[in-house]
Amino acid sequence: MSTSVIRPVHLAGRVLPALAAIAGLIVVFLAFIVLTDGAGAGLPAWLTTLGIATAAALWRGRRGTWRTRLVPFLPVVVAAALTASVCIPTVPTTRRYPPALPFVATQHWRLATGSQVAVYHYPPANAGTRHPIPFVYLNGGPVRGISELDHRFLQLLARQGYDVYAYEQAGGGRSDLLPMDQYTISRSVRDLAAFVDRLGKGRVDILGFSSGAVVLTRALADPRVAERLHRAVIAEPGPMDGPTAHITGHKGLPSARGLAPTMTGPRSTHIPRYAAAFGLMRLGLLTPDTGLIGQAEGDNAFTAADLGSDTASGYCARDAHRIPAEDTAQNFSFSPAASLRVQQTVKDSPSIAPQLAHSRTPAMLMIAECSSQVRQWATVILANDPAIQRTQYTPGVGHHMWNGLDANNDRAAAIVTAFLQDEPAPLPNYPTSAEIPAFLRDHK
């Protein structure tokens, strides 16, 4: 065999085992992270892995010369450097809240539940048409700031004479954080009731979107909360309880997921510390209150680009190359750990169908043609809430129904306001509860 062939073979024989050793040590480190739930920012897992690796390197080099004894330590040094980056914060570990918005004042209300939430008020801008009942918006998330895209939709409603209020749920946006074990779907419902009480203007009309629609649905199932609500709009809901969360089924027409250009901008998941933390949390291998990263640090680190294709899934496939900028980097805020915690409490909750069957609050369901939500999440609500007076299946839009494209904001506003004013619906009442089997069978 020629020298030109032998040398690469010998080199590969040395490099490949070293790479395998490095990979193995990283796997061991991550295993200890999982076993300890990231205790001490991952330092105990790192020290344990380093100790095991050092002992193994000493054993491997026990009979060689001093130079050959050093060779097994090379993978240890490299692996130690790589894994140490998982233990070192690269963003502030105390909460860094978004700056004030230039177009609306941020108020901070302390609710009776103990939550301190950021509140935004858009007074009615149309002096000729003022609606006496306050309008409250519950955004999706579950624990996320209200996007500027949503703020523009709320401004549109205010221009039509509505007295619009919105608040960022505890832990989201400019609202104060809660201890991790206090993020529950029942706490979100109690906060809604406390917010309406703090508002002090009697019953309110309310629009809940996505996970906000879940909070609203569960509020309708609780007579003590429902008595505070005048009319309810349930838009693109997530699963309302544990049994619903475990339903599998089809979604709407194809969304832009996988078709839209990759979102640009910095990603926390390109940094080993946050890639490990968020990835292991999403897999259920770390708890939301893991000791690896604190809640505040995770909120500070997470960026809009980290949502990846989740944003594209809110738009129809036909809109894949014209998805609007939903938010600015300065205003964007998302709490991955708290959101996972709230979602888990929904999955763990018993059925609310028996309670929802007694709802008497007039309600409307909004469903998007290209919805990325499982259809049964909406139809289960339609089947079990006898007070739903109309359903508006909206063509040409995805999960984010008011998205600034074409006339979608105006159409969504027309759907909402027609229901709130008890006027004829802009779209057919479809599907009705009787039409649910055909709606699902036809994969609408």
DSSP 3-60: HHHHHHHHHHHHHHHHHHHHHHHHHHHHHHHHHHTTGGGGHHHHHHHHHHHHHHHHHH
pLDDT at 286 over 90: yes
Structure confidence at residue 11 (pLDDT): 42
Q: Is 440 exposed, middle or buried (0-12, 13-18, 19+ CB in 10 A)?
A: middle
User: CB-based contacts of 7: which residues, under 8 Å, 6+ apart?
Assistant: none
Cross-sheet strand order for the sheet of 164-168? 107-110, 116-122, 164-168, 135-138, 204-209, 229-235, 363-370, 388-398
At 16, which amino acid appears? L
Instruction: DSSP letter for 109, please.
Output: E
As assigned by CATH, the class of the 107-441 domain is: alpha beta
Residue 212 binned pLDDT confidence (cut-offs 50, 70, 90) = very high
pLDDT at 5: 45
Report the pLDDT value the prediction gives residue 12, as an integer from 0 to 100: 45
Which stretches does DSSP call E strand in 255-309? none
* Averaged pLDDT, 144-171: 97
CA distance 13 to 135: 70
- What whole-number distance in Å separates Cα of residue 315 and Cα of residue 235? 15
Compute the average pLDDT of residues 339-366.
Answer: 97
φ, ψ for residue 117, nearest 5 deg: -120, 150
Polymer length of the chain? 444
| CA dihedral of 195, 303, 263, 398, whole degrees rounded to 10 | -20
Residue that wins the pLDDT comparison between 71 and 379:
379
Report the pLDDT averaged over residues 139-143: 95
Q: Report the b/e string of 88-99 with b at 16+ CB within 10 A.
A: eeebeeebebbe
pLDDT for position 64: 63
Confidence band, pLDDT 50/70/90 cuts, at residue 441: very high
Separation CA 149–CA 166 (nearest Å): 13
68 confidence band (pLDDT: 50, 70, 90): low
Tens digits of residue pLDDT in 357-410: 999 999 999 999 999 999 999 999 999 999 999 999 999 999 999 999 999 999
Is the predicted pLDDT of residue 14 greater than 70, yes or no? no
Give dist(CA 173, CA 179) in Å, integer. Answer: 16
Interhelix angle 3-36/272-282, nearest 10 degrees: 60
Cα distance between residue 336 and residue 299, in whole Å: 7
Two structure tokens written together for 313 = 């899934």
pLDDT tens digits for 92-107? 999 999 999 999 999 9
Written as six digits, the tokens of 413 are 């506003």
At residue 251 the predicted structure's pLDDT band, cuts being 50, 70 and 90, is very high
Cα-Cα-Cα-Cα torsion 379, 385, 386, 392, nearest 10 degrees, comes to: -50
How far, CA to CA in Å, does 72 sit from each of 7, 8, 18, 61, 296?
A: 21, 20, 8, 7, 39
Instruction: Output 66 or 398, whichever has higher pLDDT.
Output: 398
Lowest average pLDDT, out of 18-22, 24-28, 327-331, 332-336, goes to 18-22
The residues with which 390 forms a beta bridge, in sequence order, are: 364
Residue 402: count of CB within 10 angstroms of its CB: 23
Beta-ladder partners of 121: 165
Provide the pLDDT for residue 144: 97
| Strand partners for 108 | 118
Percent pLDDT > 90 in the chain is: 82
Position 425: which residue type? A
> Is the model more confident about 178 or about 21?
178
pLDDT of residue 9: 42
H or E element at residue 168 = strand 164-168
Q: With a cut of 90, say whether residue 421 has pLDDT above it.
A: yes
431 cis-preceded (ω within 30 degrees of 0) = yes
Position 126 scores a pLDDT of 72
**Span 297-322, average pLDDT:** 94
What amino acid is encoded at 154 in this protein? L
Q: Any idea what DSSP says for residue 263?
A: P
Other beta carbons within 10 Å of 112: 12
What is the rounded CA–CA span in Å between residue 39 and residue 29?
Answer: 13
Round the average pLDDT of the chain to a whole number and report it. 92
User: Which pLDDT score, from 0 to 100, does residue 269 have?
Assistant: 87
